[in-house]
Amino acid sequence: MLTNLTRRTLMKGAAASGLVAAAGGRALAADEPLGIVLVVPSPVGDVGWGRALADGLEPVKAAYGDKVKVTIIENIQEGPDADRIMNKVVADGNKFLIAGSFGYQNGALQIARRNPDVTVLHASGFQVAPNFSPFAAQYFQGTYLMGMAAAALSKTGKLGSVSAFAIPELITSINAFTLGAQAVKPDVEVSVVWVNSWFDPAKEQEAAKALLAQKCDVIFSNAQDTPSVVSACEEAGVPAFNLNSSMKKYAPETYLGCVATDWSPFFKASVDAHLAGKFKGANAFLGVGDKVVEVVDWNPGIPAETMNRIKEVEAKIAGGSFSPFAGPVAKADGSEGVPAGKTMTDAEIVAMDWHVKGVTTPLPK
């Protein structure tokens, strides 16, 4: 069953734990700090996915000081190595584990089942257990806005995306990007290159150049942790945007913006709940309205008229009155994806395995 952990319930949890702490009802494990471990698949650089997660823990550190001990373990390949490392940190007495990649799911879930006193947060999965919450960002809300800007700046009407793996999270980002672009220019087309790797800067850059060679003139760097795509686009004088954390310093001239994620409200609330003994595993699918997804560093060259429209749509998304996946939405093969009058549910969005009309690259099967 999917339950949405919304911002409101998060805040409730935070308030409740605050009250409990204030009432002295439950003392923090005073002598032993809470061991929080974050495991990520790539190196934590200045930018990217790992950096966004690490930054999300800063407010937790600031709030709890020496009552928490945060450890970040980076560059851990998905698979047996990750399972071994996660088991070890839990065996070492850490009680709060953040498994920062989809592929950690099975190992992390086993740990959660075997250790009921350990709280596990797992990035971009779908399994839920009483002490195991999957979390994901509604990137698609931000990429829809980026699509609007991209269409306004594109001269060729062709946009491109360098993407890691064809999983629903990335597919929805591309789809919303396409729909946002079509909202501004209906006949815009989007080409996608799947590099089938989370981390290969050289291949990512080659993919970006392959898209530029096809006359794509705005590029979406979909789930790249290094500025490989963004800096190649700057060199070519083409606007590009990415997810998670801003790469403006790598592309001062052409940077389109960043669909940034701020995990701190979610991490803070989860740690609060854990310390209060009230943690409840739930599917946390967080977006613009939760202040987890936010578009930052907009390119000043975006026409003011477009920017006004973008801001209007952004406010509607935050307020919940607009979804990029509100029908009618046609699939790439022309069939009906979402009927008019219907909107895709969260459960449907996290399982999306088709491209919308306008994405010219067939989806890998």
Partner 1 sequence: MNAVEFIIAGMLAAATPFLLAALGELVAERAGVLNLGVEGLMALGAVIAFIIVYQGGGHLLGFLAAGLASAALSLVFAVIALGFRANQVAVGLAIGILGQGLSALFGKSYESLTVKGLPKLSLPGLSDIPVIGGLFAQDVVVWLSLAATVAIWAMFAYTKTGLVVRAVGENPKAARALGYPVIAVRFAAVAFGGALAGFAGAYASVVYTPLWADGMIAGRGWIAIALVVFGTWLASRIFLGACLFGAVSLASLAAQATGLDVSSQLLSSLPYLVTVIVLGIISSNRRLLKLNGVASLGEPFER
Which residues of the shown chain bind partner 1 in the complex (CB under 8 A)? Answer: 42-48, 75, 160, 166, 191-197, 199-203, 205-207, 209-214, 216, 225-228, 231, 235, 250, 360-362, 364-365
In this structure, the number of other CB atoms found within 10 A of the CB of residue 213 comes to 9
Tokens of 41: 């698949």
Name the residue nearer to partner 1 (CB basis): 40 or 273.
40
User: If DSSP codes are grouped into helix, strand and coil, which group holds residue 146?
Assistant: helix
CA distance 90 to 120: 10
Name the residue nearer to partner 1 (CB basis): 249 or 311.
249
Q: CB within 8 A of 182, min separation 6: which ones?
A: 147, 151, 188, 358
4: buried, middle or exposed (CB in 10 Å: 19+, 13-18, 0-12)?
A: middle
Residue pair 274/64 in contact (Cβ under 8 Å)? The answer is no
Q: How far is the CB of 24 from partner 1 (least distance, A)?
A: 43
Q: How far is the CB of 194 from partner 1 (least distance, A)?
A: 4
Residue pair 174/219 in contact (Cβ under 8 Å)? The answer is no
User: If DSSP codes are grouped into helix, strand and coil, which group holds residue 64?
Assistant: helix
CA distance 337 to 328: 7
Q: How far is the CB of 21 from partner 1 (least distance, A)?
A: 37
Q: How far is the CB of 189 from partner 1 (least distance, A)?
A: 9
Q: How far is the CB of 100 from partner 1 (least distance, A)?
A: 16
Name the residue nearer to partner 1 (CB basis): 75 or 345.
75
Q: How far is the CB of 84 from partner 1 (least distance, A)?
A: 17
96-99 and 132-137: which strand pairing? unpaired
Name the residue nearer to partner 1 (CB basis): 132 or 255.
255
Name the residue nearer to partner 1 (CB basis): 95 or 355.
355
Name the residue nearer to partner 1 (CB basis): 137 or 207.
207
DSSP 313-357: HHHHHHHTS--TTBSPEEBTTSSEEE-TT-B--HHHHTT---PBT
User: If DSSP codes are grouped into helix, strand and coil, which group holds residue 80?
Assistant: helix
Adjacent-strand bridge partners of 261: 293
Q: How far is the CB of 358 from partner 1 (least distance, A)?
A: 12
CA distance 51 to 45: 6
Name the residue nearer to partner 1 (CB basis): 54 or 128.
54
Tokens of 229: 């795509």
Q: How far is the CB of 349 from partner 1 (least distance, A)?
A: 22
Q: CB within 8 A of 226, min separation 6: which ones?
A: 45, 47, 48, 199, 201, 204
Q: How far is the CB of 43 from partner 1 (least distance, A)?
A: 4
Is the bond leading into 339 cis (omega within 30 degrees of zero)? no
Name the residue nearer to partner 1 (CB basis): 45 or 289.
45
Name the residue nearer to partner 1 (CB basis): 252 or 339.
252
